Amino acid sequence: MNIVLIDQTDIDDDGMVRLDGTKARHILDILKAEPGKQLKVGLVNGPRGVGVVHEVSDEAVVMHTEFNHSYPERPKIDIMLALPRPLVMKRLWSVLPSMGVGRIILTNASKVERFYFDTHWLEEESYMPCMIEGLEQAGDTMVPDVSITRQLKVFLEDELDEIFPAGTRLVAHPGEDNKPLGEIQLRRDERVLLAIGPEGGWTEHELGLLNEHGFDCVTMGCRTLRTEAACVSALAILNSVGAASRKA
């Protein structure tokens, strides 16, 4: 935990907040909090700041908080992911925010099992604590927007342009003729939407649909990667490409 994320509703008018549960245990056991200790804090979807521990007990930590007026920039990378197996998605809920994404779009695909959509890991009360954990690890406060769609074609035709009106659209797919992801050139601060398919891959029909809606095929090599490896690898590459474009 490199920042303690706090919901605005948990802070009183004097800037005091009481934390309990797993968050308090981490502060007590790992950060070794004691009265007077300063901790990095942040408001969920808000600014960062400093918390000063006021008192501790076996079950809770009470802090006084102060926040600056600058909000972290929302990441420029959005990801559209063919829904993976529930246990994989459970792990990705913390991984994706920690890697830096502005929006997570979960979609159906031909090689996605229909029962994947029945998992409780698609319910906000289940995935939100995981996303907060990922953001705390990364020191960020901006929670990714989440969209879930069961019909890829309908989403591409009716919703995509509203959610992602401008920027570069990419679809990851192995192929010698596809451009390496690391060679993509972006304009300064340009948004990117990356589509990553199921572990069985996108079908030719789905690739055709994506191409029709402005997605260019890119590759990370000839190897077929598991969903987690593909997400981490692609986001690492795009973060590097984006950092280079901002320096240009």
Please give the mean pLDDT across all residues of the chain.
93
pLDDT score at 248: 58
pLDDT score at 56: 92
Same domain, 158 and 225: yes
Residue 175 pLDDT class (50, 70, 90 cuts) = confident
Mean pLDDT of 114-135: 96
Mean pLDDT of 150-177: 93
pLDDT score at 133: 95
Q: What is the CATH number of the domain that holds 15?
A: 2.40.240.20
Same domain, 99 and 36: no
Residue ending a domain, among 67, 101, 121, is: 67
pLDDT score at 247: 62
Pair of tokens at residue 157: 């035709």
- The single residue listed with the structure tokens 């990922």 is 134
pLDDT score at 197: 95
Pair of tokens at residue 156: 């591409």
Same domain, 150 and 28: no
Count the domains in the chain.
2
Say yes or no to pLDDT of 48 above 90. Answer: yes
| 72, part of any domain | no
Say yes or no to pLDDT of 134 above 90. Answer: yes
The CA distance from 242 to 248, in Å, is 10
Q: Which helix (H) or strand (E) holds 18?
A: strand 16-20
Amino acid in the structure at residue 43: L
Provide φ and ψ at 85, rounded to 5°.
Answer: -55, 145
Tens of pLDDT, residue by residue over 200-248, are 889 999 999 999 999 999 998 878 889 999 999 999 999 988 776 666 5
| 32, part of any domain | yes
Same domain, 13 and 128: no
Same domain, 24 and 146: no
Same domain, 36 and 153: no
Closest Cα partner for 242 from 131, 78, 47?
A: 78
Domain of 34 in residue numbering reads as 4-67
Say yes or no to pLDDT of 159 above 70. Answer: yes
